[in-house]
Chains A and B, each alone.
Chain A
Amino acid sequence: MKLRLDATRCQGYGLCQEPAPDLIDLDEFGYAVVTADPAPGAFEDAARAAAEACPNSALRLER
């Protein structure tokens, strides 16, 4: 599974990081950086929650 970030949509709200701290960092400018892809089973819920948390739909979970 892959957590994909569309940089054209990321506005730096930062809401994705809280539910998925093991998958997403916020950089010094406040924009999201995907640091790891969820392994099957592990972190899948966190990844889904991160994608759903973005007000601008910048994150997508792809199988």
Chain B
Amino acid sequence: MTGIDSLIPPGNPSVLGAAPGVTEDARTYLAAGGYRGAIGAAELLDRLDGLRGRGGAGFPTAAKLRAVRDAGPRPVVVANGEEGEPGSVKDRWLLRARPHLVLDGLARAAEITGAERGYVYVSDTAAGERIRRALAERAPRLPCDVVDTAHTYVAGEETAVVRRINGGPALPTAKPPRPFQQGVGGAPTLVANVETLARIALIAAQPDRRRPAARATLVTLAGRGAEPLLAEVPYGCTLRTLARAQGTPEPAGVLMGGLFGGLLGPGRLDLALDPDTLTAAGTALGCGAIRFLAPDECPVSLASAAVAHLAAESARQCGICVAGTGSVRDALGALTNGTADTGLLTRLRRWSTSLPGRGACGLLDAAAGTAGSLLRAFPDLVRAHLDAPCPGCAAPADTGRLTVPVPHVARRPVPRPRSAAFPR
């Protein structure tokens, strides 16, 4: 079962909250200072400088809010809780455990942008149920609908979100227009990850602590050494620290960001977890899903599994995605089963630079980037796969190795009648 831990200093603003294993109700959230704030929308917006989106792209939140606010009348705000990355659980946990923190952040985003309508977009049944209950517990000033979607890799992509809310399938569309220009019902639309909104609410509650709130993040850590771990961690901690915290202390490599940060070799464990540092190093924090390779796991095999997942999850809208992702999948598959020909590495290298940016969404980029990062991080190991079958790759496939289960979040127990005294 996935554990939960905090690696941030005690007393810092935290999205994990006091009881991460139980759904927080409105009374508890209000008692802790939620839904209030000392500062207005304009001042809050100024304090959001430094906050980066937590959905994967890491775009500056304040710039996105300003773009929506300035794009035209009657904007719409959307809390995006559809977490398509198989190795990430933080968004679903957040909706299940702290629905009011997310709704508070959504209301603040509406005040900043001038939106009069909000949506919460979810695929997780438990998350949807807790959000609906939270809306019933405390009716928000902002009219707010919950929109359900199927759980797929691309359903949380921002244009897919808009298309689904507009009554279509949850599939990406060509950009431009981007949602901030033309989104739900044609209006300027903010599609914000639920953790981003939670951090807006934290900063609204404690504007003086905006820096630690903006410079901490939820990560989902997994590795064969121990159970997966959902953790709130400060920017700047190293990958090595996170590997130890999860329980895979000497990893043979790291799969970063979900499936679009690519693979890193074991020599990169001193990299600091910070969006800019990781981007400069050619990888990505993404949605904070980090998979450590156990010493006996083969990176080629993991890359192959990752791209096979992506190929299966392609929306099959873009011809180039079907052809490109399928070709990368087949090439990596050939490396794992010892059937690779001599031209294969040249093709993989070419695809890693020619395919990114070609599809309507980032899925093809993730497939091509995974292959490119494998070649960069493990060149000798990959070449060895051309000469002889790899025992690590031949081991029975660990099905579901990319998928992390969401931590259990109990419903708050119904209070017993006062007469029925029970021991405390």
Contacts and interface: CB of A to CB of B under 8 A. Distances in A.
B334 to A, nearest CB: 17
A31 B319 contact: yes
B319 A6 contact: no
B358 interface: yes
Contact of A6 (B174, B323, B324, B327): B174
Contacts of A9: 174
Contacts of B320: 7, 10, 12, 27, 29, 31
A30 B323 CA distance: 10
Contacts of B358: 7, 31, 33
Given A7-B359, A27-B354, A12 B319 contact: yes
Contacts of A31: 319-320, 323, 358
B318 interface: yes
Nearest to A60: B174
B178 to A, nearest CB: 14
A8 B173 contact: yes
A12 B324 CA distance: 13
Interface in B335-360: 354, 358-360
A9 to B, nearest CB: 8
A11 B343 CA distance: 27
Contacts of A6: 174, 360
A30 B322 CA distance: 12
B332 to A, nearest CB: 17
Contacts of A29: 319-320, 323-324, 327
Given A27-B354, A31-B358, A33-B358, A11 B319 contact: yes
Contacts of B324: 29
A25 to B, nearest CB: 10
A9 B172 CA distance: 12
Contacts of B174: 4, 6-9
B346 to A, nearest CB: 12
Interface in A1-17: 4, 6-12
B354 A7 contact: no
With a 10 A CB-CB cut-off, give which of A7, A12, A27 has the most chain B CB atoms. Answer: A7
B323 A7 contact: no
Nearest to B355: A27
Contacts of B359: 7
A33 B353 CA distance: 13
A17 to B, nearest CB: 15
Contact of B317 (A4, A8, A12, A30): A8
A7 B317 CA distance: 8
A32 B36 CA distance: 53
B321 interface: yes
